[in-house]
């Protein structure tokens, strides 16, 4: 009986932690809704909360946190396009990165870049045709290809940044973090 109580307590801690990270993510997404030009940077930073959930308590809670924060950002900001980018790209990528990096190392970048480019096409069509957002903002049509190339380059930097931050977190900050949140 005592073991069941400890397990239930652990599950409550995990659920509470993932709910806290979801709230932090939605708060960051709220900030993104007010920032015009750097909203993608804020989306990238908000995805780091998914990294913490993934590292500390695992995929089931990460899925819930990702879906809940995506749904809440849609409900709070339905006219803004950033919730689509978060749902398909930044929110899901920390989960996907964990899966991909279990494969052979030689497959990491091809898999990541294929996924990114498929996701960019999906996001482009949703944002352009369903939400009616002009991504070139009246500029020349070739500008979309420049943005596409910059997105690939930015994604590579983003992936490397996540890897570096996870290493720093695991090596130096994890013990302090776990003491604050009493996760385990």
pLDDT one-digit tens code per residue, 86-108: 888 888 999 899 899 999 999 99
Query: What pLDDT sits at residue 5?
Result: 52
Nearest to 87 by CA among 53, 114, 122, 59: 122
**Predicted local confidence at residue 66, as pLDDT:** 93
Residue 69's CB: how many other CB atoms inside 10 A?
28
Q: Say if residue 79's pLDDT is above 80.
A: no
CA distance 143 to 120: 15
Q: How far is CA 52 from CA 45, 84, 103, 138, in A?
A: 12, 22, 21, 39
Q: Which residue has the higher pLDDT, 118 or 172?
A: 118
Maximum average pLDDT range among 60-74, 76-90, 121-135: 60-74
Q: Where are the domains of the chain?
A: 2-181
Distances from the Cα of 106 to the Cα of 56, 93, 97, 109, angstroms: 26, 19, 14, 7
* pLDDT value at residue 173: 83
Give the separation between CA 143 and CA 134, rounded to whole angstroms.
Answer: 11
Q: Contact 95/137 with Cβ under 8 angstroms?
A: no
Mean pLDDT value of segment 101-130: 90
Rounded to an integer, what distance in angstroms lies between the CA atom of residue 160 and that of residue 106? 15
Do the Cβ atoms of 43 and 85 come closer than 8 Å? yes
Confidence of residue 133 (pLDDT cuts 50, 70, 90): confident
């Amino acid at each position: 009986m005592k073991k069941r109580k400890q397990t239930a307590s652990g599950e409550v801690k995990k659920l509470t932690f993932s709910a806290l990270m979801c709230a932090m993510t939605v708060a960051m997404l709220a900030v993104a809704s007010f920032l015009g030009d750097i909203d993608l940077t804020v989306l990238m930073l908000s995805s780091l909360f998914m990294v913490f959930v993934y590292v500390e308590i695992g995929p089931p809670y990460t899925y819930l946190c990702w879906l809940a924060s995506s749904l809440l950002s849609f409900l709070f900001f339905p006219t803004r396009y950033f919730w689509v980018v978060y749902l398909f790209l930044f929110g899901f990528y920390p989960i996907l990165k964990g899966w991909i990096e279990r494969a052979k190392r030689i497959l990491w970048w091809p898999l990541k870049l294929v996924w990114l480019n498929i996701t960019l096409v999906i996001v482009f069509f949703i944002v352009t045709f369903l939400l009616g957002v002009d991504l070139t903002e009246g500029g020349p049509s070739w500008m979309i290809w420049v943005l596409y190339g910059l997105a690939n380059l930015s994604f590579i930097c983003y992936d490397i940044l996540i890897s570096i931050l996870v290493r720093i977190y695991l090596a130096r900050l994890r013990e302090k973090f776990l003491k604050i949140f009493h996760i385990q």
